Structure 1
Amino acid sequence: MGRGKTLPTWIYNLLFVLRILMVAEAQTVYSIVEESSPGTVVGNLAKDLQLDILELEKRHFQISGPNKKYFDVNIKTGALLVKDRIDREELCARKAKCSLEVEAIVKSPLNLYRFEVQIVDANDNTPSFRIPEIDLNVSESAFTGEKFALPKAFDADAGVYSVKAYKLSHNEHFALDVQNAGDPTVSAEMVLQKPLDREKQPLIKLTLTATDGGKPAKSGTLLINVNVEDVNDNIPVFDKPLYKVRVPENTPLGRAVIFVHARDLDEGINGEIQYSFINQDNDNNVNTFSINAITGEITIKDELDHERTNVVELRVQAKDRGTSTRASHCKVLIEITDINDNPPEISVTSLDSVLREDAPLGTMVGLLTVKDPDADKNGVVQVKIINATPFKIKNTYKNHYSLVVDGALDREKVSEYNLTITAMDEGLPPLSSTSVITVHVSDVNDNAPRFKERVSNIFVKENRPVGDVVYTLTADDPDVDENGKVTFSVISNNNNQGNNNVASVVDVKADTGEIISLQSFNYEELKTFQFMVQATDSGVPPLSSNVTVNILILDENDNNPTILAPYSEHGSVNSETIPYSAEP
């Protein structure tokens, strides 16, 4: 190009552009703390760019480019000023370095200056967690040393003002393990140090605090709810190991007897209890009752009987419904109390049903056993004979009694006794039973045959045929059998009949007592005679009695009249001959 020649316009424009695009090798760098107030001086830009302050206004010195909203220049002083709020986190997020490329332009001649403004982080953000609280479900069977990750805290600040530490509120179960080796951010884990017990503490509330590196430091918190998850580590426990109850034996079926109750500190199905009977011995008494598996109510299933069983021992099991079930048991003693529902029972264990009538007082007739299965007064029994008899009941031992003779016996008066024995207990109302015992009185030869009269006068007409039954003697003997079997015999006679023996005149039949004539009686020859008859029984020894028999001969008109001569001293009969012609 020659001197004095004007350059073409395009070349001039090109050179202008190239000049504008040139960047000084030594770029000016400023720094400003974020959030500085508008008007804050960043630096003296005119001085640093070696611009004449007096020409700044004339040359239209100003900030340009995309970041001109944040900065401005004072054209009187050349100072670079903060124009608007600068938020480092908004501009650079969490980058370690945050700087803004800023341009300044002047005209006449046109020139472009680039400089860098580094945004220095201020601790203007508090560490925070994305959620205010978390729930951690930790099994109470977790082993010590087990770790549980925790959320990280977020701090928009970077570098020293970012999250630098975590702290866990004081507790006895968890410690905090903070990891930051090689990590851009700090994280924390909870470490179980002491075993958990849901039954003691089902919920543990902890606070995790995150702090940054500012001075003073800022912090944020996270609420941690540690829900201790249940495992079936508790056995159901009954309120008491032994339950006792008294139940009358007439309690209706279905009536509740007692409730048993067990507690299980576990939750859910681990704490849901089911009740049942333990009957390993196949005890039938257990079947008398039933138990509600849910409520533990024990009710009567079958009739109670104090006399059969007065105490029933039940073993009740409480079992939870956990995966690995756990159980415990208790004992229930049910005392079945007595009511007076059984009358006394009389049984004859030994009896002499035939008793001699000469049995002495105190002779044992029989043995009785009286049982009343009821208890206490309901089983106390009084035994007696209700009708008047020569017998009595004697208590020998406990419920054993003897029936003994208590008076004189006489078979001839009473040959058979029907003894009504009653046994009555002392219950309210009393119950009783009766038993009839028949005692036969056997005969002894204690009665001699008896004639109705001691003297028997028998009138017999003369001239009765020989062999005729003159009279029948009777003797009464109340004894029986051989003792009452009577035989008759003549034991003496008199001689009223001259030299004739009674035995030749009459005969007494031994078995019937019939007096039979052995000759025809003649009143004119024998008017009366007497003899004695003895009646003897067949007992051993035999007994007898006598009767005097007077035979009185009654005259009949069996002789013609005879005229006797005058009396002769010598008693001879004289005869006279009377002529046929004699006067009447």
Structure 2
Amino acid sequence: MARNRLTNRPLEPESEFIVKIQDINDNEPRFPDGPYHASVPEMSKVGTSVIQLTATDADDPTYGNSARVVYSILEGQPYFSVDAKSGMIRVSLADMDRETRENYTVVIMAKDMGGQLGGLSGTTTVNITLSDVNDNPPIFDQRLYQMSVPESAPVGSVVGRIWAKDRDIGVNAEMKYCIIDGDGRDIFDISTDPTNLFGIIVVKKPLNFEKKPSYTLKVEGANTHLDPAFRQRGPFKDVTIVHVSVEDVDEPPLFDLSAYYVELPEDAEIGTLVKTLSARDPDAANNTVRYSIERSSDPEKYFYIEITSGSLMTLRSLDREEIGWHNITVLAMEMNNPTQITSVSVAVKVMDVNDNPPLLTDFLEAYVCEKAKAGQAVTAVDPDEPLGGQHFYYSLAPEAANNPNFTLRDNQDNTAWILTRRDGWSQQDQTLFHLPIFISDGEQPVQTSTSTMTIRVCSCDQEGNAMLCHPEAYSLPASLSRGALIAILACILVLLVMILLMLSLRNHRKKPYLCDEEENVHENIVRYDDEGGGEEDTEAFDIAAMWNPREAHHHLGKMRQDMLPEIESLSRYVPQASVMGGGGDSNVHGYVLAKLLEADMDPCAPPYDSLQTYAYEGEGSVAESLSSLQSGTSNTDHEYDYLNEWGPRFKKLAEMYGVLETNNPPLW
């Protein structure tokens, strides 16, 4: 638009101009997704497509050749090529092997202007990997494998591992192994490990070095996956030889049987041969075997086995009725190696012998009414087991065959009836009858027994039920009332109470009187003539007599041995005349000595002491002086008040009547 500059008014109508920008080649081709990664199977044919590349150019494709791109390969020849127009990369070399080279780098250039001079260009990189195909057969790394296994290896033990190597990878390298031949194909087995690469040989059956020390296996390894492109070649596989050596092991003894079963009659004598067991050392050394019985399996020691021969014998009498089966464990041990021990079970069934007489099932007792007949079924039991079943025969004992009162009828069904042979029974005539019954079984040898049935005569009601039978010596009269029983018990109770009171009063009267408050304080006044070794030479009074004065009564009339020296020492002062015959001082003198002698002879007189003298303490006494009368220096807890009170009086009395002189050692 044109306007007046002064007035700003349009000078003419608006005019439109179109400006077109002409493109020039100022943008190079670009690969927006580069760099690229691609893969192609190995051994691919020439011309096999790998990947297609597309480059973009920002220039105007409608104007000239600025946007026309041409592709070319700068790096990667002669393995790969690129289509100049489409940008498709293809295989240009046949039989490329992944196992030889797996990765390739290809550089592709895109140039505009149709590839002419002056055009712009751009490049990208393509990483190409050859993928694996199963084009290689497996090959064992050894043509002969040497392996060993101990003969003690259990079933399932691993013997060794083999590997058929395959240059392929992944599923193309997975293997399957099998034993196709050899003398050990039944003894060993082979499997593939979890990676499906290795073959593991294991023990299939127990081994025995002594029977066969070595085995040979022919093992085949084959691929499990076959590539369709190489199917015409057939399966890829390889074969190898495995030699397995069995190592000798010191094995425990081996019994000829895994278990033994023996039947033995229960009347077998002690020392009867039950069974001869045989065990041998399976090793080539063939060591000597020794036999024994496991004590826990035969705690009662019914059996014994000879240590060298293996002869199992009875050691005690058997009884099927007590123990019907004996399960014994016999041990076999190598003499040169006690750690090698084998055990075997011996089941001994004790067979029944008719050695038990039939016995009546319970205590036989029946009754007969005074005015009625009575009978009772008798049954028996036999602990033996006869083959044809138990059958018993009943009859009266020979001494009762002509019994006028009763008879027996065998019911032939293991029961019998006792029947009366007469009427008119009376308790006044006879109240008790004893009927011996003879019973036998039907087996050989026949066993018999005799039992006695007790039959009472009773008063019965109209229905035949016993009401009153003759009382036994131990039974109470039937007519005794409850009040009479209570009266009898009350009288017995009163008598018991009276007896207890009398015993209590008697004991109270016999209780000795002691002036001291402590009734159990007693003292031994001990004489020390020549102590020598200390207190070992003292003769003390029996302490039991002090605590239980009643026991001393058993010794009445016997002189106390600990007082004999004192009695002899005092006897020289006793006058020859009667003690009470004279008068004056002699009467008192004799009276005192008589009382002293009487007290010494009476073991129950308080305070139950022994009066002895001492003249010389002796040497060797640790306590220096053992006198218990040192009241000034003694630290004992006992109280000796009664000695302090009566001692001086007795001393003065003794000096007065010439029993001892004042310059003599005191009696206490």
TM-score by length of 2: 0.32
- Between Structure 1 and Structure 2, which shows a larger proportion of helix residues? 2
Q: Greater Rg, structure 1 or structure 2?
A: 1
The structure in which a higher percent of residues are strand is: 1
TM-score, scaled relative to structure 1: 0.36
